[in-house]
Structure 1
Amino acid sequence: MTDPPASAGDVRGVRAAVLGTGLIGGSVLLRLRDADVEVTAWDPDPETRRLGRERGLHLVDSVEAAVAGCEVVFLCGPLPTLPGTLLRVAEATDDHCVLTDVGSTKGGLADFARAHGLAARFVPGHPMAGSDRAGLHSADAALFGGASWVLCPLGSAGLTTFRRLTRLIMSVFRARVVPMSADEHDAAAALASHVPHLLARALAGAVHRADLRDAVLTLAAGSFRDGTRVAATPSDRTANMLLGNRERVLDELGRVSDFLDELAGALRAGDRAALLALTEEAGAARAALTERSLRPQRREFPVHGAGERELAYLLGLGAAGGHLTGCRVEAGTVVYTAHVPDSAH
């Protein structure tokens, strides 16, 4: 990939590979194909490979065949398989090839990549999009449009790779790139994504054990359906995610439990004022999902020599709730455009 501004021209001549074609990997594959990227895929399941070929997708029978000559490889298999796949792909590609993943936890894989000398070419990633469905047959090329896509540069040595991948994700997937450290991603994702999976399972599980189970299901309205949607996610996917971020999930679950205890205490005491205050506090956070005010921001750095300052800016942007809207390299300068919450300093 070259260094012009993010645009359709960024993908001309790019060769990509997708390893693992479930819901997320399949959606990555479909979007790359629709954007006229030359893309090859592999999946460990022969039936999935057959299904993909029937849909006109280029699926091959080995990892090495899929990644040969590629400039970017998306690792989209289950979380426990990613370290082994990363090493296998690194051995089968040259140093110019950008490696990234789409897993829902980042810290462990980031540490693994550093330990194996891959920090300059591997950028851990996590598109914050999905559904309760699974498999290539559920894949959707439009899944990532407008979604947040976290990228975790592993030190200043990986900034060139980060820039290349950022432009590709913006131009092809139309996603909002959120740069974060791997540890801060896992801390934020625990409360934004992983704990909600636990709560959905808890609510659905309580109904399953209820004496009036069928009556509850008959009466179930939007609040129950919305609150338990992700409980339909494949159990192995959920277990991998929770175990991969166990300590942070348990920490944030404690925070949720504390708030729930306050609600229960106010209800038990019949304290209307306390109950209103707590529900209004929660409602304000929910409203902020759609009502936050963002302001534009622009930053420039020399392509060489300012790596630590550039890295600090990027990681601070994501931690403050901001996201990138542009990244271009020209005349020895990298220019970032971004949006940050008005509340951010």
Structure 2
Amino acid sequence: MPDSAGNRLAVVGTGLIGGSLLLRLHQAGHEVIGWDPRAETRDLGRSWGLRFADRLDEAVADRAVVFLCGPLVALPEILSEVAKATSDDCVVTDVGSTKLGVTEAARQAGLGHRFVAGHPMAGTENAGLASARPDLLVGAPWVLCPDPAVDPVRYRALVTLVTDVFEARVAPMEAGFHDEVVALSSHVPHVLAGALAGAVARSPVREGVLSLAAGSFRDGTRVAGTPSARTADMALQNRRAVLRQINLVRSVLDELAGNLERDDADAVLSQFESSRAVRLELLSRRMSRVERRFDGATDERSFLVAVGEQGGYLTDCSVEAGTVVYRALLPEDAPVTR
């Protein structure tokens, strides 16, 4: 794969995320083409001056990088089509919110050696190309899985593309670790938002709740406004990890309910203080800049996995005189920073 500058790229599926990728790449001057199964979406994109193909194979042929941005449930079939229509030099990546399933589907399609599972952690409750923004991914965490089957050169080039063009922060994570993390950080919040809104729908005080709903209810149910099919697809595709994390949340709720039943003020306060500490850490986490150089791919991958597991991000990747250089941000107390 050549250097990221001037690459020929394709974006398959141009909803909110795919459309935002397409707009950003077009804005940056790349030779990029989009494809979407909906003719009305292709027509909208063309009216904005974007290049669209009418067929999937036409969109991905002779491309250096292909971003797959369709629904998770459709990815196995799309991966098979893309494998047939692209050359062995083409790097394929996706933006889905679960990684184990799509990684296995890529292997079955014969793409395991050139598929980098990805997940940009950005979005809104809105959907479709009409809601896309070229700056949607700026500053956002973007997971890229450093699978041992993938040539490190391909991985590095994708890291460079993501950090340079999209100005995102790459979180290198193994697929299974990613799925557990997003289950608790993204999927379960969707479940809880839906549960809270669903409880209001069944409540005899429903109208009163809606009339008095303030910031806490609006914030807590915001993602319940996400298109239902997308949320259901996300939860079902990662259901084992989601169920494990739901059980963890349930245990915390059960503990809180028990403390309330016992009127144990100290225990209730302690739980809320523990929760508040996590929230405050999220808002004020102290990070350190780290630079690492590698001549061997084995140590390189170990470093990448450690960065992801310890809550860090890659901010840059370059090759200098045959040496790979990563620059990263890591929590100050992370072992890899020492």
Partner residue in 2 for 1:168: 161
Give the structure 2 partner of residue 42 of structure 1.
35
Deviation for aligned residue 1:116: 3.9
Report if the CA contact (8 A) 1:323-1:338 is conserved: yes
SS in 2 for 1:298: strand
- Aligned match for 1:99, one of 77, 92, 103: 92
SS of the residue corresponding to residue 56 of structure 1 reads coil
Q: Deviations over 1:289-335 (max 9, x none)?
A: 12111111111111xxx222211110111011011011001211100
Q: Secondary structure at the match of 1:59?
A: coil
1:314 aligned residue (298, 304, 318): 304
Q: Which residue of 2 aligns with 1:23?
A: 16
CA-to-partner distance for each residue in 1:72-121, whole Å, 9 max, x for gaps? 11000000111111121121111111110000000011122234442221
Q: CA deviation at 1:265?
A: 1.4
Alpha-carbon contact 1:298-1:335 (below 8 Å) kept:
yes
Question: What is aligned with 1:189?
Answer: 182
Alignment equivalent of 1:324, drawn from 314, 318, 328: 314
Q: CA deviation at 1:156?
A: 5.3
Find the aligned partners of 2:284 and 2:173 in 1 and give their Cα distance: 23
Instruction: Summarize the alignment of residues 237-248 of structure 1 with structure 2, pairs less than 5 Å apart.
Output: 237-248=230-241
Match of 2:115 in 1: 122
Please list the CA deviations of residues 179-198 of structure 1 after superposition, one character each: whole Å capped at 9, or x if unmatched. Answer: 00000000100000000000
Runs of 4+ more than 6 Å apart: none
- Aligned Cα RMSD in Å? 1.2
**Residue of structure 1 in register with 2:244 after alignment:** 251
- Contact kept, 8 Å, 1:327 with 1:334, in 2: the verdict is yes
- The 1-side partners of 2:299 and 2:253 are apart by 41
Q: What's 1:133 paired with?
A: 126
The separation in 2 between residues aligned to 1:163 and 1:42, in whole angstroms, is 26
- 2:112, 2:287 → 1: CA distance? 32
| SS of equivalent to 1:273 | helix
Residue 64 of structure 1 deviates from its aligned partner by 1.3
Matched residue, 1:341: 331
User: Aligned partner of 1:183: which letter?
Assistant: G
1:153 aligns with 2:146: yes
Task: Figure out how many residues of one structure are paired with residues of the other and give that number.
Answer: 335
- Correspondence for 1:222 among 192, 215, 228: 215
Q: What letter is aligned with 1:118?
A: L
Gapped runs of 5+ residues in structure 2?
A: none
Separation in structure 2 between the aligned mates of residue 160 and residue 166 of structure 1, nearest angstrom? 10
Q: TM-score, normalised by structure 2?
A: 0.96
The 8 Å contact of residues 118 and 143 in structure 2, kept in 1 or not, is answered as yes
* Pair 1:275-2:268 in alignment: yes
1:212 aligned onto 2:205: yes
Kindly indicate whether the alpha-carbon contact (under 8 Å) linking 1:83 and 1:112 is maintained by their aligned counterparts in 2.
yes
1:80 aligns with 2:73: yes
Contact kept, 8 Å, 1:157 with 1:307, in 2: the verdict is no
- Tell me the secondary structure at the aligned position of residue 89 of structure 1: helix
Distance 2:77 2:310 in 1: 33
> Which amino acid is 1:196 matched to?
P
Q: Distance in 1 between matches of 2:110 and 2:54?
A: 28
Does the Cα contact within 8 Å between 1:41 and 1:58 map onto a contact in 2?
Answer: yes
Amino acid at match of 1:231: A
CA distance in 2, matches of 1:117, 1:54: 36
1:251-298 alpha-carbon deviations (Å, 9 max, x no partner): 000100111111111112111111110001001111111211111111
| Structure 1 residue 30: Cα displacement | 0.7
Corresponding residue SS for 1:60: coil
Q: For 1:187 and 1:62, how far apart are their aligned partners in 2?
A: 35
Deviation at 1:68, TM superposition (A): 2.0
Name the CA distance, whole Å, in 2 between partners of 1:157 and 1:202. Answer: 40
- SS of 1:18 mapped into structure 2: strand
Partners of 1:77 and 1:88 in 2: CA distance = 13
Query: Is 1:285 the equivalent of 2:278?
Result: yes
Moved more, 123-132 or 148-157: 148-157
CA distance in 2, matches of 1:157, 1:150: 15
- TM-score where L is the length of structure 1: 0.95
Distance 1:70 1:116 in 2: 18
Matched, 1:231 2:224: yes
The answer to whether the Cα contact below 8 Å between 1:15 and 1:71 also exists between their aligned partners in 2 is yes
Asked whether the equivalents of residues 97 and 234 of structure 2 are also in contact (C-alpha less than 8 Å), the reply is: yes
Distance 2:151 2:269 in 1: 48
